[in-house]
C-alpha cells in the first residue's frame, strides 16, 4: 500500500513569489491535513480537508490556502512568499482519529 | 487552546530503556499519539492510545497514560542506536487537528 506522497521534496523560491505544494493521500483516505514545521514554532496545523471541503483552519494568514480534489489529492498554495515561510510542510492523511494520521516525507521550502 | 510539553533531550546507552515524557492541558483529549522523526524525513506514527486506556504495549514500545495528571509517556525497551531520532507527542484536539509537543531528541550511544 503506497504511503502519503508529497511533491516536490525541495523548493527554493524568491520573496514575493507564490508556490503550490501537492499531496497524494493513501488510497481510501478522505481526510488530508497540512502542517508547517519550523525550528522555532515546531509543528503547527494549517488546515484540513475532507471530501473537498475545508473543515478546519489553523491560525495562519490568508496567504496560505488549500484545496482538495475529488480523488482526495490536495494542494496548498502560499502567495507573496516571505522569508519566514521557509519551513518543512507536511501533509497527513487519515481515515479518522481512531486510526491515526500518516504523514508524508514533506516538502522543504526555502524562501530567499 | 491545547498545550503539549515535552523535555527536549534524552541520552541513553544502547540496551537501556528510554522513557520520554509528555504533559498536556486539555483533559477532554481522546486520542494521544507518538511520532518519530529521523533527520530529513517526515513523521512516522509509532503508536497511539485512546483516553479510556491506561497502558498500551506494542513490541518494544509501552505507552502509559495518567489522565488525572494529564501525563503520557513512551517507554522504549532495549534501545538501539537506530532509535536515535526526535520523538513527538501529539494530542487530538478536535476538528481533525493534532497539537504537537516540541519534540524530544533521543540520542543512543553505543
CB spacing of A97 vs B43 below 8 angstroms: no
A34 touches chain B (CB under 8 A): no
Summarize the confidence of residues A14-24 as an average pLDDT: 98
Distance CA B24, CA B72 (A): 8
Write the pLDDT tens digit of every residue in B64-100: 999 999 999 999 999 999 999 999 999 998 878 899 9
Closest residue in B to A103 (Cα–Cα) = B43
Of A29 and B95, which is predicted with more confidence? Answer: A29
Which segments of A14-78 are extended strands (E)? 19-24, 31-38, 42-50, 53-57, 64-68, 74-78
Distance CA B12, CA A104 (A): 29
Q: How far is B15 from chain A (nearest CA, A)?
A: 29
Give the burial class of B84: count Cβ atoms within 10 A of its Cβ; 0-12 exposed, 13-18 middle, 19 or more buried: middle
Q: Which residues of A touch B90 (CB under 8 A)?
A: 43
Closest residue in A to B30 (Cα–Cα) = A97
* Local confidence band at A1 (pLDDT 50, 70, 90 cut-offs): low
Write the pLDDT tens digit of every residue in B35-49: 999 998 899 999 999
Amino acid at each position: 500500500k503506497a504511503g502519503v506522497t508529497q511533491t516536490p521534496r525541495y523548493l527554493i523560491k524568491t520573496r514575493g513569489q507564490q508556490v503550490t505544494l501537492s499531496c497524494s493521500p493513501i488510497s481510501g483516505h478522505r481526510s488530508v491535513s497540512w502542517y508547517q514545521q519550523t525550528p522555532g514554532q515546531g509543528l503547527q496545523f494549517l488546515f484540513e480537508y475532507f471530501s473537498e471541503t475545508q473543515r478546519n483552519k489553523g491560525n495562519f494568514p490568508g496567504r496560505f490556502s488549500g484545496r482538495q480534489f475529488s480523488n482526495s489529492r490536495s494542494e496548498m498554495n502560499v502567495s507573496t512568499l516571505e522569508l519566514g515561510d521557509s519551513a518543512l510542510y507536511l501533509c497527513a492523511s487519515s481515515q479518522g482519529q481512531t486510526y491515526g494520521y500518516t504523514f508524508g516525507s514533506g516538502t522543504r521550502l526555502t524562501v530567499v | 487552546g491545547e498545550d503539549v510539553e515535552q523535555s527536549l533531550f534524552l541520552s541513553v546507552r544502547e540496551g537501556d530503556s528510554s522513557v520520554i515524557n509528555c504533559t498536556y492541558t486539555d483533559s477532554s483529549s481522546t486520542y494521544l499519539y507518538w511520532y518519530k522523526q529521523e533527520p530529513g524525513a517526515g513523521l512516522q506514527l509509532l503508536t497511539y492510545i485512546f483516553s479510556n486506556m491506561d497502558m498500551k504495549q506494542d513490541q518494544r514500545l509501552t505507552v502509559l497514560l495518567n489522565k488525572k495528571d494529564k501525563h503520557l509517556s513512551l517507554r522504549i525497551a532495549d534501545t538501539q542506536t537506530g532509535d536515535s531520532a526526535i520523538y513527538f507527542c501529539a494530542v487530538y484536539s478536535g476538528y481533525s487537528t493534532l497539537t504537537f509537543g516540541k519534540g524530544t531528541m533521543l540520542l543512543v550511544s553505543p
